[in-house]
């Protein structure tokens, strides 16, 4: 598990060490650095992948794996200082791996210096960005190397093959909500129906080579445009969480998209369970319902998540990215409320009260 990420001269970060845990929530103002933190982790991992292939020279190559959209060195470098390098360090227990990036004459070409006392292997990361969705017809994949695909194009294949396969992180059933069976397709549909009631999905091979058909509902084979944005955006999270292996990392941006508040709270419950099955979960969110879903899980005696397993990082941008760690006690109460953190409802209600009283 990654305990800390340290960023130096990376985008808005001057020299920041960010705490992570089994479940980590990233909240805060727009352009506060939440997405930049995720980008740094993906850039680090992509660099390790390309080092294995002996080709790390171009930002284009590093961008490819996760669609990072980092086009020039100047775009990444913190522009407050004259330094011509940035660093990303990963702390895993007592081990630190640091990569220093420096530009060459071409602003798109970089040199790397990796500093580690271990044989660094790429991290096993499942990344679900905010622009996720699914299509009715899915490509076949490789059963020995299961991935969602860059555009979630293998979800149907994973569900179809999961009819006879158990969820990998399903060793302790006492921690799971649905204990009947560990079979993958059963767990997918139980969670889908729990989060979005009366929804169901199945997958089957069709005559067209290399394609899988997704069926939504009991009988109708619905086109993706007719299944609703909620299902389309939540299914990759459920499938991604259930295929994640222990010691892997699941990154989810805005899990609340297109979801009713109740569903937002329930997806937090699901992600909290995944994190306690050995998968490190990192969530970027603007939703109070997601935050409170995690807090409620801490209080739920039947849920394994504890307050010490959850880190909430609040990002502020007052000229530079500043991160405030928000801690919970055993009662899931927030010890310190920074200005701007989950206070908009209170502000709006106060303003409405003044308007009713005719106070300007």
Greatest Cα pair distance, the chain, in angstroms, is 69
Q: Write out pLDDT tens, residues 93-102.
A: 888 999 888 8
Backbone angles phi, psi at 341, to 5 degrees: -90, 110
Among the residue ranges 51-65, 245-259, 319-333, the one predicted with the least confidence is 51-65
SS3 of the chain: helix, strand, coil, percent, to 5: 30, 25, 40
Report d(CA 44, CA 287) in Å as an integer: 28
Report d(CA 152, CA 132) in Å as an integer: 7
Among the residue ranges 50-59, 161-170, 248-257, the one predicted with the least confidence is 50-59
pLDDT range class, residue 64, cuts 50, 70, 90: low
- Residues 228 and 152 occupy one common structural domain: yes
Domain assignment of residue 177, given as a range: 131-244
Report d(CA 102, CA 108) in Å as an integer: 11
- Residues 212 and 267 occupy one common structural domain: no
> Which pair of tokens denotes residue 316?
């502020």
- Residues 95 and 163 occupy one common structural domain: no
Tell me the pLDDT of the chain averaged across its residues: 82
Q: Calculate mean pLDDT across residues 158-187.
A: 72
C-alpha angle 97/284/50, rounded to 5°?
A: 35
- Given the DSSP bridges, would you call strands 249-253 and 125-128 parallel, antiparallel or unpaired? parallel
pLDDT range class, residue 107, cuts 50, 70, 90: low
Question: Among residues 61, 57, 58, 65, which one has the least CA distance to residue 122?
Answer: 65
Q: What is the pTM of this model?
A: 0.89
- Please determine, for residue 288, whether its predicted confidence score (pLDDT) is greater than 80: yes
- Please determine, for residue 193, whether its predicted confidence score (pLDDT) is greater than 80: yes
Bridge partners of residue 321, in order along the sequence: 317
- Residues 249 and 159 occupy one common structural domain: no
> Which pair of tokens denotes residue 144?
């020995």
pLDDT for position 227 = 58
Dihedral angle over CA of 50, 248, 20, 112, nearest 10: -10
Q: Write out pLDDT tens, residues 261-277.
A: 999 999 999 999 999 99
Question: Among residues 184, 239, 241, 331, which one has the least CA distance to residue 23?
Answer: 241
What is the CB neighbour count within 10 angstroms for residue 142? Answer: 9
The share of the chain scoring above pLDDT 90, in percent, equals 40
pLDDT for position 356 = 84
pLDDT for position 139 = 57
Q: How far is CA 247 from CA 125, 144, 275, 281, 302, in A?
A: 10, 18, 10, 10, 23
Q: Which of 244, 269, 295 is the last residue of a domain?
A: 244
Q: Calculate mean pLDDT across residues 286-294.
A: 95
- Residues 251 and 317 occupy one common structural domain: yes
- Residues 116 and 256 occupy one common structural domain: yes
CB 141 within 8 A of CB 253: no
> Which pair of tokens denotes residue 79?
């522009």
CATH (domain of 313): 3.40.50.300
Among the residue ranges 40-49, 248-257, 281-290, 306-315, the one predicted with the least confidence is 40-49
Give the sign of the dihedral formed by CA 130, CA 136, CA 137, CA 138. positive
- Residues 200 and 267 occupy one common structural domain: no
pLDDT for position 24 = 98
Q: Calculate mean pLDDT across residues 282-307.
A: 95
Q: Write out pLDDT tens, residues 15-63.
A: 999 999 999 999 998 888 999 999 999 999 988 877 765 555 556 666 6
Among the residue ranges 114-123, 210-219, 246-255, 282-291, the one predicted with the least confidence is 210-219
Query: What is the separation of C-alpha 311 from the centre of its chain, rounded to a whole number of angstroms?
Result: 14
pLDDT for position 262 = 96
- Residues 64 and 101 occupy one common structural domain: yes
- Residues 198 and 235 occupy one common structural domain: yes
Q: Helices 229-243 and 184-195, interaxial angle, to 10°?
A: 140
The share of the chain scoring above pLDDT 70, in percent, equals 79
Q: Which of 244, 261, 290 is the last residue of a domain?
A: 244
pLDDT for position 140 = 58
Phi-psi region of 228 (alpha: psi -120 to 50; beta: other; left: phi over 0): left
- Residues 201 and 60 occupy one common structural domain: no
pLDDT for position 56 = 54
- Please determine, for residue 222, whether its predicted confidence score (pLDDT) is greater than 60: no
- Give residue for tokens 């139980």: 190
Q: Which of 216, 244, 272 is the last residue of a domain?
A: 244
- Residues 104 and 9 occupy one common structural domain: yes
Give the sign of the dihedral formed by CA 40, CA 232, CA 287, CA 173. negative
Q: Calculate mean pLDDT across residues 303-318.
A: 92
- Please determine, for residue 360, whether its predicted confidence score (pLDDT) is greater than 70: no
Report d(CA 120, CA 114) in Å as an integer: 10
Q: How far is CA 222 from CA 26, 231, 329, in A?
A: 35, 12, 46
Terminal-to-terminal C-alpha distance of the chain: 52
Report d(CA 201, CA 154) in Å as an integer: 14
pLDDT for position 353 = 84
- Total structural domains within the chain: 2
- Residues 255 and 336 occupy one common structural domain: yes
* Most confident option among 73-77, 218-222, 325-329: 325-329
C-alpha angle 167/169/174, rounded to 5°?
A: 100
- Cite the DSSP H helix spans in 77-206: 155-161, 184-195
Q: Calculate mean pLDDT across residues 84-88.
A: 90
- Please determine, for residue 145, whether its predicted confidence score (pLDDT) is greater than 90: no
């Amino acid at each position: 598990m990654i305990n800390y990420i340290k960023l130096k001269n990376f985008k808005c970060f001057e020299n920041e060490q960010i705490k992570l845990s089994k479940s980590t929530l990233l909240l805060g103002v727009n352009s506060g650095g939440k997405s930049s933190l995720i980008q740094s982790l993906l850039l680090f991992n992509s660099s390790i992948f390309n080092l294995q292939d002996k080709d790390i020279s171009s930002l284009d190559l590093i961008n490819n794996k996760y669609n990072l959209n980092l086009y020039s060195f100047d775009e990444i470098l913190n522009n407050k200082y004259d330094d011509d390098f940035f660093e990303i360090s990963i702390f895993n227990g007592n081990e630190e791996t640091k990569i220093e990036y420096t530009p060459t004459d071409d602003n798109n070409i970089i040199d790397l210096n990796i500093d580690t006392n271990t044989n660094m292997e790429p991290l096993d990361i499942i990344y679900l960005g905010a622009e996720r969705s699914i299509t009715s017809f899915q490509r076949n994949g490789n059963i020995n190397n299961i991935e969602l695909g860059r555009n979630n194009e293998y979800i149907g294949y994973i569900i179809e093959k999961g009819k006879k396969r158990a969820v990998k992180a399903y060793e302790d059933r006492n921690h799971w909500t649905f204990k009947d069976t560990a079979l993958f397709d059963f767990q997918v549909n139980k969670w889908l129906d729990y989060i979005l009631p009366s929804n169901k999905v199945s997958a089957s091979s069709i005559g067209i080579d290399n394609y899988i058909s997704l069926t939504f509902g009991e009988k109708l084979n619905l086109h993706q445009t007719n299944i609703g944005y909620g299902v389309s955006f939540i299914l990759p999270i459920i499938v991604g969480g259930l295929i994640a292996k222990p010691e892997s990392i699941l990154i989810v941006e805005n899990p609340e998209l297109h979801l009713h508040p109740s569903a937002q709270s329930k997806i937090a419950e699901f992600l909290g369970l995944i994190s306690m099955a050995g998968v490190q979960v990192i969530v970027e969110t603007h939703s109070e319902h997601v935050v409170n879903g995690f807090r409620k899980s801490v209080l739920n005696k039947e849920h394994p998540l504890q307050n010490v397993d959850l880190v909430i990082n609040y990002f502020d941008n007052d000229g530079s990215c500043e991160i405030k760690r928000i801690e919970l006690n055993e009662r899931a109460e927030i010890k310190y409320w920074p200005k701007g953190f989950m206070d908009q409802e209170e502000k709006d209600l106060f303003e409405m009260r003044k308007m009713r009283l005719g106070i300007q």
